[in-house]
Amino acid sequence: MKPYIHKVQYYETDKMGITHHSNYIRWMEEARVDFMEQIGWGYDKMEECGIISPVIGVECEYKQTTRFNDRIRIELEVSGYNGVRLTFKYEMRDIYTEKIVAVGESKHCFLSEEGSPMALRKQFPELDNVLKIGLKNDGSDFSDIQED
């Protein structure tokens, strides 16, 4: 999988010139959306299929400050998946110094449009298989997945 690169924007910084902590959560979402598109299951496709995947938990630990114009590489992996719940881990690094700037985790579930839990194994086995492959390979190798 190709990592996601985020360029820190001026509006993301505070009066001290440091990226505001809330933005790292947004970057995790950007990387997650990019990841899902890369595996052929973008959020638009999931919603067309009637799949809703809300965030049910999020954590972020800040290691280094970032500033305007920094480039941050965000790598993520599927660290947990049971067919109904999904957990991603994120590592954010400055692309020039290779220093880790933050690490995080987000937890999700799969629901129908009506809000009831959805077992992907039964209703969307293609998506279920892609996520299982990612879990087996620590989320790092989806090279044999074909995009729709």
Residues 6+ apart with CB under 8 A from 142: 1, 38, 39, 130, 133, 134
Annotated catalytic, 34? no
Look up residue 28 and give its two tokens. 């995790």
**106: nearest Cα among 139, 58, 35:** 58
Look up residue 36 and give its two tokens. 């899902």
What is the identity of the amino acid at 10?
Y
81: three-class secondary structure by DSSP: strand
Look up residue 82 and give its two tokens. 């049971």
Which of 14, 44, 138, 141 is the catalytic position? 14
Q: Which residues are catalytic?
A: 14
